[in-house]
Structures are given as C-alpha cells and as structure tokens.
Amino acid sequence: GAVVSQHPSWVICKSGTSVKIECRSLDFQATTMFWYRQFPKQSLMLMATSNEGSKATYEQGVEKDKFLINHASLTLSTLTVTSAHPEDSSFYICSALRRGGNQPQHFGDGTRLSIL
Amino acid sequence: AQKITQTQPGMFVQEKEAVTLDCTYDTSDPSYGLFWYKQPSSGEMIFLIYQGSYDQQNATEGRYSLNFQKARKSANLVISASQLGDSAMYFCAMREAFNTGGFKTIFGAGTRLFVKA
C-alpha cells in the first residue's frame, strides 16, 4: 500500500531555533500534501494545503512566515517551523493525496516537536 | 464555511456488539467526499471508509459501513461486531475541491471508542 514517510519522528530543540520536518510519499506521486497539527487528545487541525504547482494555501490563523511549507516535488513536502517557541510544541502530521478526489489520504507517522 | 461535527466525545460498546459513531457536516459545495479514520493510541491515522457526495449507495468496508443521509448532511460510521482492537479515536473528515483544482480536508473533533470485554 501507499506509504508516507515523515522525518524526524521526534525532535527536541531550544527556543529560537528553526526546525524542518520532511514528508515523502514513497511509492506514489502526491498532487496534494496537507500539514496538520494535533494537540493532546484533540483533533487534527489543518494548517495548510500544498497543491501541485502552486504555493501552499494556509488556514486562517496560521502564520505563513512562521510555518514555511515547500512542496518541492510530487514526492516531497517540508514544513519549517521558524524561530520556534514553547507554544509551537505539538504533534505535526503530514498527509499526501494521489490525483483524484475520492482517494484516501495517506498519513505520515507524525513528528512530536518539543521546544524547550 | 465547511464544518464537521462529532457530538460524541466518548462511547462505550460491548465486545461483539454494533456501535454507531455520529458525524454531521455542513457545506454548500455539491461535490465533496466524506472519510472516516481511526487513530489508535500509537498515533497513526488509519483510513477506514469513503463516501462520495454523488454515491447512491452507502459505502461498506468489511465490518465498517457508512450511513449516508445526504439531506440531513450526516455520515455516521457503523462498526459491526466490535472487537477489543477497535478501541481508538475515530475521526470523520470532509474533503472539498478548490476552484483552482486542489483539495482541502478538515476533521471533526473525534470520538473515542472503548470496547469492553
């Protein structure tokens, strides 16, 4: 089945540093990639949608300059949390979608980010 | 604006019995897709079932079925013959298409299901 690899799975860093999270679709081309944030015991909050050939579309309230998304190719998307602070600590999950609206999204295993 | 509502924060079901998890949605777009995902305590998201807005029949996948009532804008998940391994968080999600050709998917708050032995 389709596999989405997300790296790193866990990162701890100091406040003020930038952290890059990678999301790769290993055996299919992802025309759309989604980035979600999940707080403990809560739902997935959509941060941004990145479609093939266009810039990421950010959800209301998500800072574009804070959370930089690059959909470099049809198999790779990156989320960079710039100048991270403790309030950015969370579980970040990427998801990739093949072409076609009725396909299920394939999720990465998530990245647990802890900012000290 | 699109919206997904799951009104049951937690549900208990006896092993081998059926359980229904509720989901209602709100959209003005005639074309959309509805999904259910399972998230065990380990955190990964597992796709369960899909229903398209134009599908005439309710979707079924093994022990999972989706009770799609379009006029009521509800897409309830029915799990038959519950198993202990079904204990997890369940999310309802809706996907719409952008005019530009992309997609957007949002998730409901989730329902935590506990299966009792």
Distance to chain B for A84, nearest Cα, Å: 23
Residue A110 structure tokens: 């998530």
B25 touches chain A (CB under 8 A): no
Percent of the residues in chain B that have a pLDDT greater than 70, as a whole number:
94
B33 touches chain A (CB under 8 A): yes
The b-or-e profile of B76-114 (16+ CB within 10 A means b, else e) is: bbbbeebeeebbbbbbbbbbbeeeeebbbbbbbbbbebe
For position B99, what pLDDT does the model report? 66
Which of B103, B107, B110 is facing A101, going by the closest CB pair? Answer: B103
For position A1, what pLDDT does the model report? 59
- Using the beta-carbon criterion (under 8 Å), do A46 and B43 form an inter-chain contact? no
- pLDDT tens readout for residues A6-31: 999 999 999 999 999 999 999 888 88
The DSSP call for residue A85 is -
